[in-house]
Chains A and B, each alone.
Chain A
Amino acid sequence: MSFKIIVFIKQVPDTDDIRWTEQNTIQREGLESVINPYDIGAIQLAKKIRLLLEDCKITAVTMGPLQAKAALKEAIAMGCDNGYLLCDKKFAGSDTLATAYVLSQFIKTEANDFDLILSGYQAVDGDTAQTPSSLAQKLNIAQITSVKELIEINKEYSLWQKETPEVTQNIKIYHPALISVNINNAEILPDINGYIKAQTTDITVLSAADIEADITKTGFAGSPTQVKKAFRPEITRATERLSFENNGQISDYIIKLINKCKEQDEV
């Protein structure tokens, strides 16, 4: 039996290229889209596994609009074996919970015999690293978050190095499992064979009905969290503009503030 890896990827705006509108929203027209950099880290580790295990297959999956096919083609050019696009109007506006639900329905209907799910630790377009954990719970599987390196793998279990600001850990996990990969500087340059494969491989597009998704749990309507208002932070300090004759006076003033700060509770 082959070893099956699912890599979840996300198409994000190229952050090196972000422009802002007058209203402080992201200007989406003309914006380049790329694969979320952390997801490329996940593809890189998946390819490493394929080198170590015989008969291993890497499937790239994303939820998004039809344009997201391009990201899947790119993932295949980078070395994934095939790609699925979860695309339905009823998915639009999904929050984390609804997104994790859609991804879990894909797994349950199309890939229930998977061994590992790999995903990026977070998406650079402002998502908050919640989706992988949420998905792992929906599938009732164990997870390791913020993995930097694969140490060892066989079909039954694998060993990973996890790193957070506080600790570095070596963790053994039994399959099936979910690994979120915290590598944001991976670079995979597709070769000519990769490009040919991407061109000749069809992306399977699946709708809500195809993955038997309950549409009351997807999209905007199925998302429990909603933005009530968006605003510019208000600054409520009464600014005092101070003028001085020279830098010596400025220094004296600042030193006075510092001393006040050390002696009293209020400055």
Chain B
Amino acid sequence: MKFNTLVYIETNNNTIEKVSKEIIAHARQCFKDNEICGVVVTDEITTILEQFKNAGLDKLFVIQNPLLKKFNVSAYCDVLSQLINDIKPSVFLMGATANGRELAPRIASKLEIGLTADCTDLQLDENSNLLATRPTYGGKMMATIISKTTPNFATVRQGAFKHKQFDVNNTEVCFYTPEMSCLNLFLSQLEVLKTEIKEPKEDWTESEIIVAGGLGLKSKENFGLIYKFSDLIGAKPAASRAAVELGWASHDIQVGQTGKSVAPKLYIALGISGALQHISGINNAQKIVAINTDNNAPIMNIADFAIQSDAVDVLNNLINKLSN
């Protein structure tokens, strides 16, 4: 039997969302024997088709209609549910973005299927059933969730997987035309009068080197050394939740379960104990260096390189060396 995985590909201002590409890359690499399909809802496919080159899709379903230019959760739910009923994928995935979090439960509810939200890992068992893993109990534990209904449906947290380009470029493009008699009703129920797009911040989570500070730095002033040092080496600063809660850093740069997931080549953790909620955000880092005064801190058993020392002294020394 042939299995297929369908990924809903979200676009924003004619750009494919990063998390959609991450999901495709993961499915392509880990879901053996599966045909990897994507679906995109758009008013005009030609402007975005180029971005699907080398994305790793076997098949791309295009739902194209000028009325679907703007995201409308009822309308998108309706057309995507029709596609799912027609092609019957075994697995259906989408990103846990703001829109995804609104859309996914509506589709699950319409199709009466289970949904596992905000997953950090996805695997298939020997029968191609989805094993969807997500943090639970406030991040102290992970839970692997299965679903009795098909398609097995999950949303995925941004940054959980790594985006990758594939050499092959033979995606088959299929136009899908759903029944749209309800469309006008959906569009008339709700009207967006004004949209202000917030200044897109530079995506620091993509940085190859991230320097993170925690409570062990002892003061806001000392935490400033994290900014100074990361600036000197062209890295990005980050913080533990404890440091954020004390106002040493903004929540935007918090790493961990209730912050961002990162996958840099090098993660330097200074004065961070390594609580599971923090570690769950750095599992995908290539190398982790920990500097901590306490050799028994959990992070000293988790990092690739554990260095017992005073983080403030090391930072000062590094800054001195690099400034000369």
Contact = CB atoms under 8 A, between A and B. Distances in A.
Nearest to A100: B109
Contacts of B286: 266-267
Interface string B291-324: 1000100001111111111100110011001100
Interface residues of A, number: 74
Contacts of A257: 266, 287, 289, 305
Interface string A145-183: 110000000000001000011111111111001000000
Nearest to B154: A225
Contacts of B268: 254
B97 to A, nearest CB: 8
A238 interface: yes
Interface in A4-47: 18, 20, 24-26
A24 B73 contact: no
A147 to B, nearest CB: 12
B43 to A, nearest CB: 18
Contacts of B183: none
Contacts of B66: none
B204 interface: no
A60 B49 CA distance: 48
A108 B148 CA distance: 27
Contact of B198 (A132, A168, A250): A168
Interface residues of B, number: 83
Nearest to A224: B114
B321 A255 contact: yes
B192 A169 contact: yes
A247 interface: yes
A264 to B, nearest CB: 9
B294 to A, nearest CB: 13
Interface stretch (B51-59, B115-123, B167-175): B115-123
B101 A223 contact: no
A196 interface: no
B198 A173 contact: no
Given A142-B186, A142-B190, A258 B198 contact: no
A261 interface: yes
Contact of B117 (A128, A159, A230): A128
A133 B102 contact: yes
B189 A174 contact: yes
Contacts of B300: 239, 241
B131 interface: yes
A242 B265 contact: no
B124 interface: no
B306 A224 contact: no
B190 A144 contact: yes
Given A128-B117, A230-B141, A267-B287, A165 B189 contact: no
Contacts of B189: 141-142, 173-174, 177
A218 interface: no
Contacts of B307: 242, 244, 250, 253
A166 B138 CA distance: 25
A233 B73 contact: no
A137 interface: yes
A165 B158 CA distance: 14
A130 B317 contact: no
A170 B266 CA distance: 42
A92 interface: no
A121 B74 CA distance: 18
Contacts of B108: 96-97, 130, 134
A225 B116 contact: yes
Interface in B163-185: none
A129 B101 contact: yes
Contacts of B190: 142, 144, 171-174, 177
B25 interface: no
Nearest to B120: A233
A132 B208 CA distance: 38
Contacts of B128: none
A51 interface: no
Nearest to B121: A233
B14 interface: no
Nearest to A142: B189
Contacts of B306: 239-242
B44 to A, nearest CB: 21
Contacts of B140: 20, 24, 232
A167 B196 contact: yes
5 smallest CB-CB distances across A and B, nearest first, come from A224-B114, A128-B117, A225-B114, A142-B189, A137-B109
Given A232-B141, A244-B309, 8 more contacts: A133-B103, A166-B197, A169-B196, A171-B192, A174-B188, A229-B144, A237-B303, A261-B287
7 contacts: A100-B109, A173-B189, A225-B115, A240-B305, A247-B313, A250-B314, A261-B265
Interface of A: 18, 20, 24-26, 95-97, 100, 126, 128-138, 141-146, 159, 164-174, 177, 223-233, 235, 237-244, 247-248, 250-255, 257-258, 261-262, 266-267
